[in-house]
Chain A
Amino acid sequence: MAWFKRSKENISSENGKKDIPDGLWTKCENCGEIIHKKQLEENFYTCAKCNYHFRIGSKEYFEILLDDGTFKETEKNIRSVDPLQFVDTKPYSQRIEESMKKTGLTEAVRTGTGKINGIPIVIACMDFSFIGGSMGSVVGEKVARAVDLARKKKHPLIIISSSGGARMMEAALSLMQMAKTSAKLAQLAEARIPYISVLTDPTTGGVTASFAMLGDVHIAEPGALIGFAGPRVIRQTIGKDLPKGFQRSEFLLEKGFIDMVVHRKELKETITKLLRHFAS
């Protein structure tokens, strides 16, 4: 068991327990299987044994979905400001700085153009690692501009969501991003441009209650938490434990709020089929 002991040091378990690990080996959150990094990558960051979907970011999704070398990032330079001079236990401006350093990202969403099996599309993908994927002015504005770009180019739009909700530190301005993105999507719908919403773990709060729930087609990854209120708040409100599987993808499929639950390795093919139907 020597190799096992040694490798165990490489297992990352702390901070952001579901993020992809830096170590060479990682343990499946769900079944406990020890998986090698390379194997994890080849398996689209899912567990081969139990299908558990690890949380990944925009970089990985762009690699998984887009044809090699086709991604062109847009609106890279929009940055958050601190419009309210918000300070809780630390200043918001400091949180942004720290998050940028930690993640190497500039905000909780990246947008761009690319091709999926040769079909040109406009894409936006959220990063949960950046302040919990929260939607502030920049997320709202970048999504809005991606919608505008899809409308201008007449290319289908794909948005991959992963968010804890609105960004409290931008208060009402963050709330208004829900209205902004929804209004933009209404314009896209009138232009009859397809929009596919992909919901990943977790998609809650203001993002679910705006653009994530306004797709022509809703695709969810298996086992993703999707809802308006978070489970903790609901449990506090009703004073009872929540039913098993509550607010998970399969539950939403059953209740009629998503079209399908799709394994990450089949995501690209599923989207391709849909895009071909829309275009035919």
Chain B
Amino acid sequence: MAKVILDFERPIVELEQKIADMRKYADNLDIADEIALLEEKVDQLRNSVYSNLTRWQRVQLARHPERPYTLDYIQMMTENFVELHGDRFFGDDKAIVGGFATFENQTVMFIGHQKGRDTKSNIYRNFGMPHPEGYRKALRLMRLAEKFSKPIITFLDTPGAYPGIGAEERGQAEAIARNLFEMSRLQVPIIVVIIGEGASGGALGIGVGDRILMMENTWYSVIAPESCSSILWRSWDYKEQAAEALKLTAKDLLELGVIDRIIPEPIGGAHRDPLQAAALVKKVLLEELKALKKISLTRLVQERIEKFSKMGAWKNG
């Protein structure tokens, strides 16, 4: 698969390539000083690019086709993963995956949106856009976790719930609403991690929990910047402005009280070093899980409802 390089990544990747090429000949030539100089330069470049990312650039990183997806994280972080299928009513939605796995000596129910890597797998996964049966499968698995007192970890990464005829016929809205309703009162700890794109109700449909964590280069909002541009500006050309206006980055949402914590990513984004990215996610998840397990279930559910009840901004006029 051809490497995908974003515009703002290009100068860095090119310089890295140049250094790698020079290294090959370093034995023969006395160019160590030159390499050291270039490495310093690439470090500076990385720092200046990645410490000043625009919101739109974050959106691009969140959608990077080489970014780790749900099954990648499960594979890198857990053992004994047993994937479970089907909503028991209609079918098995490939855009949402889930199952039990051993996560550092404890069984946890993992559920997440799943995108594909190439055209074929993207069609199979419907580009990570679930149908109602996906949300109903997720709920079925969450209830299963609750029945056996296993904590739940969900990974959000979707461009949205699928807008199609079958999806509407089978009650997309009802399926999402039902999950919000049931997740708010499930009697087990729930941790939600936004690992890529958190687009609207399609993301939130598996996104109610006790801790909402967001990876550094992801986005979460009520609408994608392109669609927002098309509706409010009546043109597809204002996606960058829309991304700015929507304040959809992890930092924004931490300030707005929508999320609890940002999970740092390897410099350049999770796709530059998936193993390190998974290690960073795992570390935070273990900390949060440990803290949540100390809270009684009654209090946990109470605090979960209170947490969402507080969200929003208004005044008494």
**For window 182-226 of chain B, which residues contact chain A by CB distance below 8 Å?**
182, 184-185, 200-201, 204-205, 207-208, 220-223
A183 pairs with B315, CB closer than 8 A = no
A214 pairs with B178, CB closer than 8 A = yes
Q: Tell me if B42 is interfacial: C-beta within 8 Å of chain A.
A: no
Per-position contact with A for B134-172: 1 when CB-CB < 8 Å, else 0?
000000000000000000000000000111110111111
B208 pairs with A183, CB closer than 8 A = yes
A114 vs B247: C-alpha distance when bound (angstroms): 40
Interface size of B by Cβ–Cβ distance < 8 Å?
57
**For window 204-221 of chain A, which residues contact chain B by CB distance below 8 Å?**
205-206, 208-214
Q: Tell me if A14 is interfacial: C-beta within 8 Å of chain B.
A: no
A257 pairs with B253, CB closer than 8 A = no
- Contact A171 B246, CB 8 Å, known A185-B181, A214-B178, A229-B172: yes
B311 pairs with A228, CB closer than 8 A = no
A179 pairs with B174, CB closer than 8 A = no
A100 vs B123: C-alpha distance when bound (angstroms): 46
Q: Tell me if B8 is interfacial: C-beta within 8 Å of chain A.
A: no
Q: Tell me if A191 is interfacial: C-beta within 8 Å of chain B.
A: no
Q: Give the residues in chain B near A137, CB-CB below 8 Å.
A: 311-314
Q: Give the residues in chain A near B169, CB-CB below 8 Å.
A: 255
A209 pairs with B317, CB closer than 8 A = no
A210 pairs with B177, CB closer than 8 A = yes
A114 vs B316: C-alpha distance when bound (angstroms): 23
Q: Give the residues in chain B near A144, CB-CB below 8 Å.
A: 309
A228 vs B175: C-alpha distance when bound (angstroms): 10
Q: Give the residues in chain A near B228, CB-CB below 8 Å.
A: 168
A237 to chain B, nearest CB (A): 5
**For window 236-256 of chain A, which residues contact chain B by CB distance below 8 Å?**
237-238, 242-243, 246-247, 255-256
Per-position contact with B for A129-171: 1 when CB-CB < 8 Å, else 0?
0000000111011001000000000000000000000111111
Q: Tell me if B304 is interfacial: C-beta within 8 Å of chain A.
A: yes
Q: Which of B171, B245, B309 contacts A88 (CB 8 A)?
A: B245
How many cross-chain pairs have Cβ atoms below 8 Å apart between A and B?
Answer: 203
A84 pairs with B246, CB closer than 8 A = yes
B181 pairs with A166, CB closer than 8 A = no
Q: Tell me if B176 is interfacial: C-beta within 8 Å of chain A.
A: yes
A86 pairs with B163, CB closer than 8 A = no
A204 vs B163: C-alpha distance when bound (angstroms): 12
- Contact A183 B221, CB 8 Å, known A228-B201, A255-B171: no
Per-position contact with B for A217-238: 1 when CB-CB < 8 Å, else 0?
0000000001111100110011
Determine the residue in chain A with the shortest Cβ distance to B253. A172
Q: Tell me if A126 is interfacial: C-beta within 8 Å of chain B.
A: no
A209 pairs with B168, CB closer than 8 A = no
Q: Give the residues in chain A near B248, CB-CB below 8 Å.
A: 171-172
A78 pairs with B314, CB closer than 8 A = yes
B316 pairs with A228, CB closer than 8 A = no
Determine the residue in chain A with the shortest Cβ distance to B223. A168
Q: Tell me if A42 is interfacial: C-beta within 8 Å of chain B.
A: no
Closest 8 CB pairs of A and B: A137-B312, A229-B163, A183-B184, A182-B180, A79-B317, A83-B313, A208-B173, A88-B232
Interface positions of A (Cβ within 8 A of B): 77-81, 83-84, 86-89, 106, 136-138, 140-141, 144, 166-180, 182-187, 189-190, 205-206, 208-214, 226-230, 233-234, 237-238, 242-243, 246-247, 255-257
24 A/B residue pairs, CB under 8 Å, sorted by A: A77-B316, A81-B315, A88-B232, A106-B317, A137-B312, A137-B313, A144-B309, A168-B231, A171-B245, A171-B247, A173-B311, A173-B313, A174-B222, A175-B201, A176-B308, A177-B312, A183-B308, A184-B305, A184-B309, A187-B305, A208-B177, A213-B178, A214-B181, A255-B171
Interface positions of B (Cβ within 8 A of A): 161-165, 167-174, 176-178, 180-182, 184-185, 200-201, 204-205, 207-208, 220-223, 228, 231-233, 238, 241-242, 245-248, 252-253, 256, 258, 304-305, 308-309, 311-317
Given contacts A166-B222, A238-B164, 11 further A-B contacts (CB under 8 A): A78-B314, A78-B316, A144-B309, A167-B222, A182-B208, A183-B305, A183-B309, A185-B181, A205-B201, A234-B165, A255-B171
